Amino acid sequence: QVQLVESGGGSVQAGGSLRLSCAASGLSFSTHAMGWFRQAPRKEREFVAAVSRSGKNIYYGDSMEGRFTISRDNATNTVYLQMNSLKPDDTAVYYCAAEFVWGDYVGTTSRSYDDWGQGTQVTVFS
């Protein structure tokens, strides 16, 4: 059974930083691309960042590039999202997702992903 467990969410003042972690189990981590998505109240789920199975291919959502950094550790089956210069608009539930892939492909839409975590709340106050 695949489990993706997010941690590291919380409340932070605008301009601050948070580091999210997602621990994966029940899957062959090195054969999965990993992504982060977020969903704010009354909004659709939004792509945040994704990393290919090798870690070489990385993509970010439009408003995240330059502020967020995704990384993965295939030795510990963990993917991270470092978030800097946080804004109130970043307030959302952040979800980790896994996508089985052939090669070093990485998806940037939620429908590409097979397994999801339960989410972690990030609140940025001004």
Helix (H, G, I), strand (E, B) or coil at 105: coil
**Rounded average pLDDT over 58-82:** 96
Provide DSSP, 48-74.
EEEE-TTS--EEE-TTTBTTEEEEEET
In this prediction, residue 63 has a pLDDT band, given cuts at 50, 70 and 90, of confident
**Rounded average pLDDT over 14-29:** 97
Task: With beta carbons less than 8 A apart as the criterion, state whether 122 and 94 touch.
Answer: yes
Q: What is the mean pLDDT of the chain?
A: 96
Looking at residue 65, what is its pLDDT?
83
Task: With beta carbons less than 8 A apart as the criterion, state whether 19 and 34 touch.
Answer: no
Query: Per-residue pLDDT for 90 more than 90?
Result: yes
